[in-house]
Amino acid sequence: MQLLPFSQNVYLLLNQSTAYSFCSFKMARSVKAIAAKKAKAALSGKVTKPKPPQNAYNLWYRENRDTIIKEKRLKNLGKAARAAWKKLEDKSKWEEMAKEDKERYQREMNEHSGNNGQSASAGEDQ
């Protein structure tokens, strides 16, 4: 295949194969752009928003994902996880972890909102 400018290569791919989704191409670009923005912000010392809290199900799922995959096929992973979560009798451990994560998020958001106006002036004082 001849090397052409980027937009022409995309056009050729779209015309050659209907299976190629332009939407997924745009999504991949946006994911890369977001990652680049986060890396740039981290290098520049900008204060970024804290990571949002996770609920009890998400915390449970992250810890139990591997065992669910071993038991079920990957195709039915979501259904198997939902069924296992519904069958779980004692969810208090996960609910407590979610509560702690929510409190962490609130603390970090308070610090973040307090630092937004002070970040520029703090750098000037030093």
Model pLDDT for residues 1-42, shown as the tens digit of each residue: 455 555 555 555 545 544 444 445 555 567 777 778 777 777
pLDDT over threshold 60, residue 81: yes
Please report where in the chains the tokens 């973040």 appear, as a residue. 112
Both 55 and 107 in one domain: the answer is: yes
CA atoms of 98 and 76, how far apart (whole Å): 25
pTM of the model: 0.50
Both 26 and 61 in one domain: the answer is: no
| Total number of domains constituting the chain | 2
Is 21 inside any structural domain?
yes
Both 83 and 93 in one domain: the answer is: yes
Both 60 and 85 in one domain: the answer is: yes
Both 57 and 101 in one domain: the answer is: yes
Contact present, 53 and 102 (Cβ < 8 Å): yes
* Residue-range definition of the domain harbouring residue 12: 1-47
**Mean pLDDT over residues 39-56, rounded?**
78
Both 53 and 78 in one domain: the answer is: yes
pLDDT band, residue 118 (cuts 50/70/90): low
Both 41 and 53 in one domain: the answer is: no
Both 70 and 102 in one domain: the answer is: yes
Contact present, 107 and 59 (Cβ < 8 Å): no
Is 103 inside any structural domain?
yes
Is 119 inside any structural domain?
no
pLDDT over threshold 60, residue 98: yes
Collapsing DSSP states into helix, strand and coil, what is residue 66? helix
Both 55 and 24 in one domain: the answer is: no
To the nearest whole number, what is the mean pLDDT of the chain?
73
